[in-house]
Chain A
Amino acid sequence: MIQIILNEWKILLRVRVLAYLTLFFIAGLTLVTWLGVIQNNNQQEQQQAAQKHVREQWENIDAMNPHGAAHYGSYAFKPITPLSSIDEGVNAITGNVLRLEGHVQNEIVYSEASQSLSVSKFGKLKPSLLLQYVIPLLLIFIAFASVSSEKETGRLKLLVFQGASLPKLILAKALSVWFYGLFLLVITVAVQTLINLKNTGAGNIERTFFLLLAYGAYYYTVVTLAVYFSARLKNNTAALSSMLAVWIIWTIFLPKIWGNTTDKLYPLPSRQEFKTAMKEDRSKGIDGHNPSDKREEELKQKVLAEYKVDSVENLPINFDGIVMQADEEYGNQVWDKHFGKNYDILRKQKNMYQLSGIFNPFVSLQSTSMGFSGSDMLHHLDFLQQAEQYRRVLIKSLNDKHAYGGSKTGDWSWEADNAFFKSIKDFEYKSPVFATALNQNLIDILCLAFWVVLATVIVALSASKIKLV
Chain B
Amino acid sequence: MKNLLPVIQSEFRHFFRSPFKTVSLVLFIGVAVYGLQNGYDLFKKHNAEIAAIKTKNAESVKKIESWFNEGKKGPEDRPWIDITTPFWAIWNAPSSAFHAPSPLMPFTIGQAEQFGYYKQVTNWSTTFDSDLAEEIANPERLTTGTLDFSFVILYLLPVLVIVLLFNIGGLEKDLGFDRLIQVNSMSQKKWLLARFAFYFLVLVMVILVLMLPYAILTGAFQNEFSTFIKLFLYFTLYTLLWFSVFYFINLSGKGSANQALKMVAVWLLFCIVLPGTFHQIASLKYPSSYMTNYIDANREESKKLWELPDDTIRNRLLVLYPKLKETKHGKDTLIDEEILGNSSSALVNDLMKKTALTIENNNEEKNRFIRNSFWINPVSFFQNKINSLADNDYYAYKEFRVHIQAMIDKKIDILLFDCWNKETINKGKYLQYIENFK
Contact = CB atoms under 8 A, between A and B. Distances in A.
Interface of A: 32, 35-36, 38-39, 42-43, 46-47, 49-50, 53-54, 57, 72-73, 75, 77, 89-90, 92-97, 99, 106-107, 109-126, 129, 133-134, 137, 141, 144-145, 236-237, 240-241, 244, 248, 252-253, 255-257, 259-260, 262-263, 268-272, 274-276, 290, 292-293, 342, 346, 349-350, 353, 366, 370, 376-377, 380
A133 B264 CA distance: 12
A393 B244 CA distance: 63
A137 B394 contact: no
B272 A237 contact: no
Contacts of A270: 45, 49, 135-136
Top 10 A-B pairs, shortest CB-CB distance:
A125-B276, A120-B275, A112-B288, A50-B290, A90-B139, A256-B147, A119-B279, A124-B280, A120-B279, A259-B141
A325 to B, nearest CB: 21
Interface of B: 20, 31, 34, 38, 45, 49, 52-53, 56, 77-79, 110-111, 114-116, 118, 128, 130-131, 133-147, 151, 154-156, 159, 163, 166-167, 174, 256-257, 260-261, 264, 268, 271-273, 275-280, 282-284, 286-292, 295-296, 299-300, 303, 363, 366-367, 370-371, 380, 383-384, 387, 393-395, 397
Contacts of A54: 292, 295
A268 B136 CA distance: 7
B261 A75 contact: no
Contact of A126 (B49, B146, B151, B280): B280
Contact of A117 (B154, B159, B295, B394): B394
B256 to A, nearest CB: 5
**Quick one: which of B257, B260, B284 has the most chain A CB within 10 A?**
B257
A121 B49 contact: no
A292 B271 CA distance: 63
Contacts of A376: 140
A94 B135 CA distance: 11
Contacts of A32: 280
A118 B289 contact: no
A366 B141 CA distance: 12
Which secondary structure dominates where chain A touches chain B? Answer: helix
A237 B255 CA distance: 9
A110 B394 contact: no
A416 B34 CA distance: 60
A72 B159 CA distance: 54
B260 A272 contact: no
B383 A118 contact: yes
A252 B27 CA distance: 13
Contacts of B282: 116, 119
Given A122-B272, A124-B276, A268 B284 contact: no
27 contacts: A39-B287, A49-B292, A72-B299, A75-B295, A90-B139, A114-B115, A115-B289, A116-B363, A117-B384, A120-B275, A122-B271, A124-B279, A124-B283, A125-B279, A129-B272, A129-B273, A236-B257, A237-B256, A241-B166, A252-B156, A256-B145, A256-B147, A259-B140, A260-B141, A260-B146, A272-B118, A350-B138
B139 A94 contact: yes
B5 to A, nearest CB: 28
B137 A116 contact: no
Contact of B290 (A46, A240, A274, A276): A46
Contacts of A113: 111, 114, 142
Nearest to B290: A50
Given A77-B290, A241-B260, A117 B114 contact: no
Contacts of A77: 290
Contacts of A133: 268, 272
Contacts of A269: 136
B261 A92 contact: no
A377 B393 contact: no
A43 B287 contact: yes
Contacts of B268: 133-134, 137
Contacts of A90: 139-140, 142-143
Contact of B133 (A73, A95, A263): A95
B279 A123 contact: yes
A337 to B, nearest CB: 15
Nearest to A148: B257
Contact of B366 (A57, A89, A115, A137): A115
B144 A120 contact: no
Contacts of B371: 117
A107 B141 contact: no
Nearest to B140: A377
A402 B268 CA distance: 61
Contacts of B20: 241
B351 to A, nearest CB: 16
Contacts of B366: 115-116
A86 to B, nearest CB: 13
B143 A35 contact: no
A256 B299 contact: no
A252 B28 CA distance: 12
B415 to A, nearest CB: 22
Given A123-B279, A263-B138, 8 more contacts: A39-B284, A57-B296, A110-B291, A116-B367, A134-B272, A244-B264, A253-B31, A376-B140
A353 B78 CA distance: 48
A50 B292 contact: yes
B138 A349 contact: yes
Contacts of A89: 140, 143
Nearest to B294: A110
A369 to B, nearest CB: 12
Contact of B257 (A49, A240, A256): A240
A271 B116 contact: yes
Given A109-B133, A119-B275, A260-B141, A244 B367 contact: no
Contacts of A114: 111, 114-115, 134, 397
A56 to B, nearest CB: 11
B284 A38 contact: yes
Given A90-B140, A248-B159, A268-B138, A290 B279 contact: no
A206 B20 CA distance: 44
A115 B363 contact: yes
A119 B380 contact: yes
Nearest to B23: A245
Contacts of A276: 56
A237 B139 contact: no
